[in-house]
């Protein structure tokens, strides 16, 4: 049995915490498993390193930046190795390069291209616990690269995939994935299991728990992921293939506060207009989410869409330049509420219950979009949390 464990920044945030991680790793080893541990930098360290660089310039050389950023993980990697060895178990600490993690050359947000697992396999054969510095690799020019913020999750999943590990445990300071944000609904429940696709849709709930790219990679490589807390022994949430689960109707309710709405009225209703608008937005790398267009009347139509709030300014510039519509409205006072569940694929009435619930609360729906496993609505910001609580109850997620 091979287990990959990843410990995030708060889990290795102090020397005492590193010591208790060492004990947990040894417990796992004693259960007769081979263990590969991937570590983050101690909490706050990566931000601190970025600040150091920005003391000199807002635009530091990105090869140097990666050399700097990768150092945070190397510190925890070495300290944990020392701690484990000191407890009488054999451990070896490896940097990304030593672990064989080869990436492309896109510094500060590199992608893993392949993992040469020979060194790790050798060390495992010798019975050693392997500790890997997360968040980093090496490009073909021999330069250190980093994988983007939160990238240690990605290191762990990639290693688990490459070595066909039985389990990849991601340790943080929360117990797992909840049916909704417990700060909004105190009756939110921790989920035992959730599918990769649901987890991706619930990103706004899980963003603190797991980096999205790592969930996508886990799905691709078929890695069983568990997110759990390193501060207790609670079981955590398993993120796995849909086939491994009995289809629950609704798994969770997500609230996304980072959306803004753009409404174009009096758009000329002829071929090519939508292409023109959305190509312009795509060129600026704006992430358009919901899109709604009405049946035209008298040669014009209305078109609405949402973009991330922090991209609204750039979206405005694009849209205003195009002069594609008679009137354009922008609103930041909106939120997106999503009901997510794989069971929707095979059940009817899931959407109508959502709409009925919102209506009973007097909440007006401004936009609706659906996918196979998700219903999303845009509502006034001030109703966002109320909508979450009402839907959480309507789908009996507190039961
Ligand atoms: N230390 C890096 C960060 O803070 C990577 C990680 O923790 O996953 O983004
Ligand atoms: Mg993280």
Q: Separation of 95 CA from ligand 1 center, angstroms?
A: 15
Q: What DSSP assignment string belongs to 223-237? A: --EEEEESSS----E
Which residue's alpha carbon is nearest to atom 5 within ligand 1? Answer: 150
Give the ligand at the shortest distance from the Cα of 152.
1
What backbone phi and psi angles, to 5 degrees, belong to 370? -135, 155
133 vs 71: CA distance, rounded Å: 9
C-beta separation of 131 from 74 below 8 A: no
- The answer to whether the CB of 41 is under 6 A from ligand 1 is yes
Q: Which of 8, 10, 38, 41 to mutate to test the pocket of ligand 1 (most atoms within 8 A of CB)?
A: 41
For the chain, what is the mean pLDDT? 94
Confidence of residue 206 (pLDDT cuts 50, 70, 90): low
Ligand 1 atom index nearest CA of 41: 1
Phi, psi dihedral angles at 36 (to 5 degrees)? -115, 125
Ligand approaching nearest to the C-alpha of 171 = 2
How is the beta sheet containing 259-268 ordered, strand by strand?
A: 291-293, 300-308, 259-268, 327-331
**Distance between CA atoms of residues 71 and 59, nearest Å:** 19
Which atom of ligand 1 is nearest the CA belonging to 72?
Answer: 1
List pLDDT tens digits, range 243-302: 766 767 899 999 999 999 999 999 988 899 999 999 999 999 898 989 999 888 888 999
The rounded Å distance from CA 219 to ligand 1 centre is 21
| Collapsed DSSP state (helix, strand, coil) of residue 179 | coil
User: What is the best residue among 150, 158, 210 to mutate for testing ligand 1's pocket, by most ligand atoms within 8 Å of CB?
Assistant: 150
Ligand nearest to the CA of 149: 1
What's the rounded mean pLDDT across residues 319-347? 91
- For ligand 1, the distance from its centroid to the CA atom of residue 305, given in whole angstroms, is 32
Q: How many CB atoms lie within 10 A of CB 314?
A: 14
Residue 169: both structure tokens together: 């445990």
The predicted pLDDT at position 208 comes to 67
Task: Output the CA 152–ligand 1 centroid distance in Å.
Answer: 6
| For the CA of 209, the nearest ligand | 2
pLDDT at 66 over 80: yes
Q: Is 265 exposed, middle or buried (CB count within 10 Å of its CB: 0-12, 13-18, 19+)?
A: middle
Question: Residue 62: exposed, middle, or buried by beta-carbon count in 10 A (0-12, 13-18, 19+)?
Answer: middle
Rounded Cα gap, residues 167 and 212, in angstroms: 18
Q: pLDDT tens for residues 46-63?
A: 999 999 999 999 999 999
Q: How far is the CA of 358 from the centre of ligand 2 (A)?
A: 34
Measured in Å, residue 123 CA sits from the centre of ligand 1 at 25
Is residue 343 pLDDT above 70, yes or no? Answer: yes
Contact 235, 228 (CB under 8 A): yes
Kindly state if the Cβ of 152 falls inside 6 Å of ligand 1.
yes
Report pLDDT for 326: 87
Q: How many residues does the chain have?
A: 399
- Give the pair of three-digit tokens for residue 113: 């291209």
């Amino acid at each position: 049995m091979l287990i990959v464990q990843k410990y995030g920044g708060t889990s290795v945030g102090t020397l005492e915490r590193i010591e208790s991680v060492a004990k947990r790793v040894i417990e796992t080893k004693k259960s007769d498993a081979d263990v590969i541990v991937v570590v983050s930098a101690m909490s706050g360290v990566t931000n601190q390193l970025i600040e150091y660089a920005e003391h000199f310039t807002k635009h530091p050389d990105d090869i140097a930046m990666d050399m700097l950023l990768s150092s945070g993980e190397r510190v925890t990697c070495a300290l944990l190795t020392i701690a484990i060895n000191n407890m009488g178990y054999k451990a070896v600490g490896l940097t990304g390069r030593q672990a064989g993690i080869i990436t492309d050359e896109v510094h500060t947000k590199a992608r893993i291209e392949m993992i040469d697992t020979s060194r790790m396999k050798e060390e495992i054969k010798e019975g050693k616990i392997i500790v890997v510095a997360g968040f980093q690799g090496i490009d073909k020019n021999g330069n250190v690269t980093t994988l983007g913020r939160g990238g240690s999750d990605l290191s762990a999943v990639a290693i688990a995939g490459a070595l066909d590990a039985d389990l990849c445990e991601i340790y943080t300071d929360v117990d797992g994935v909840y049916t909704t944000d417990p700060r909004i609904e105190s009756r939110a429940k921790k989920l035992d299991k959730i599918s990769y696709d649901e987890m991706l849709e619930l990103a706004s709930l899980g963003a603190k728990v797991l980096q999205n790219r790592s969930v996508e990679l886990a799905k691709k490589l078929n890695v069983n992921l568990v997110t759990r807390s390193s501060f207790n022994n609670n079981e955590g949430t398993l993120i796995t293939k849909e086939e491994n689960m009995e289809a629950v109707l609704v798994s969770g309710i997500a609230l996304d506060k980072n959306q803004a709405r753009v409404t174009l009225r009096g758009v000329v209703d002829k071929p090519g207009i939508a292409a023109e608008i959305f190509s312009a937005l795509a060129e600026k790398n704006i992430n358009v989410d919901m899109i709604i267009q009405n049946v035209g009347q008298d040669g014009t139509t209305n078109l609405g869409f949402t973009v991330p709030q922090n991209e609204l300014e750039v979206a405005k510039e694009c849209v205003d330049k195009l002069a594609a519509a008679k009137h354009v409205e922008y609103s930041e006072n909106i939120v997106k509420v999503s009901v997510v569940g794989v069971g929707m694929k095979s059940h009817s009435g899931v959407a109508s219950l959502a709409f009925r619930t919102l209506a009973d609360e007097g909440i007006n729906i401004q936009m609706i979009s659906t996918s196979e496993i998700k219903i999303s609505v845009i509502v006034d910001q001030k109703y966002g949390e109320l909508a979450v609580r009402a839907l959480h109850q309507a789908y009996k997620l507190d039961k």
